[in-house]
Amino acid sequence: MKWLRFIRKLKPYNIQKGLRYLKHYGPKEFLIRLSERMEPEEVPYGPWREQYCAKEEDLARQKNHKFSYCPKISVVVPAYRTPEIFLRQMIESLEKQSYENWELVIGNASPEDETMARILKEYTGKDPRVKNVPIPENIGIAENTNAALAAAAGNFVGFMDHDDLLAPDALFEIAIRLEKDPSIDAFYTDEDKVRTDLSE
């Protein structure tokens, strides 16, 4: 049963990610991570997620919340040859935020990618909170991030990969805590995994 669960997870993306992990961390750490992935869930994930995710009524209430302190949150994303579906989903996960004082700053290091250029023009044209920072060439994830960061104008900055998504209440949860304690300097937010099967 354990192996059957493991085989179901063998998608091309996960195999590539596993090989990168093996190359970077070595066989010992790779085997530890692999064994962790094969452990059965102590709590079934589906019901747990359903219980804790913000519902539509929660998001509506959050959108109507009047903040006494409303900092702008810049979300900085280095992007390089991002597949269209990932790029659109990432941008739209910002547009669905229940907290509205944000900006998305995308450092586009793929000047030759016409599809990316078209998509970024589409989103920046309809939402001024989405910013495209053209980078003449791919100078690596750190420098691409720094190029985008230089264009950020927010009071706080968060970082995402070009294939990440934000839960619709993610920025609200940060803002509501800042409203209670504006002296907070930094937040740690955990991550979750989503399916990578593009056919679904």
Q: Is residue 172 located within the same domain as residue 95?
A: yes
Q: Is residue 79 located within the same domain as residue 126?
A: yes
pTM, whole model, 2 decimals? Answer: 0.75
Q: Is residue 82 located within the same domain as residue 7?
A: no
Q: Is residue 116 located within the same domain as residue 163?
A: yes
Could you tell me if residue 192 is inside a domain? no
Query: Average pLDDT, whole number, for the chain?
Result: 88
Share of the chain above pLDDT 70, in %: 88
Q: Is residue 12 located within the same domain as residue 68?
A: no
Q: Is residue 100 located within the same domain as residue 176?
A: yes
Q: Are 160 and 134 in contact (CB under 8 A)?
A: no
Q: Which domain holds residue 72?
A: 63-180
What is the predicted pLDDT for the residue at 6?
57
* Structure tokens given for 80: 């390089």
pLDDT band (50, 70, 90) for residue 200:
very low
Q: Is residue 169 located within the same domain as residue 74?
A: yes
Q: Is residue 76 located within the same domain as residue 23?
A: no
Q: Is residue 161 located within the same domain as residue 74?
A: yes
Could you tell me if residue 45 is inside a domain? no
Q: Is residue 107 located within the same domain as residue 174?
A: yes
> Residue 105 to residues 18, 53, 109, 200: CA-CA distances in angstroms?
29, 26, 13, 28
Q: Is residue 69 located within the same domain as residue 123?
A: yes
Q: Is residue 26 located within the same domain as residue 70?
A: no
pLDDT digits (tens, 9 = 90+) for 99-116: 999 999 999 999 999 999
What is the predicted pLDDT for the residue at 195?
63
Residue 135 CA to residue 81 CA, distance in Å, equals: 12
Task: Report the CATH number that the domain containing residue 114 is assigned in CATH.
Answer: 3.90.550.10
pLDDT digits (tens, 9 = 90+) for 13-62: 677 777 887 887 888 888 887 777 666 656 677 787 788 889 999 999 99
If you ran DSSP here, which 8-state letter would residue 157 be given?
Answer: E
Could you tell me if residue 88 is inside a domain? yes
Angle at 69 between CA 127 and CA 151, to 5 degrees: 40
pLDDT digits (tens, 9 = 90+) for 161-199: 999 999 999 999 999 999 999 999 999 988 877 665 544
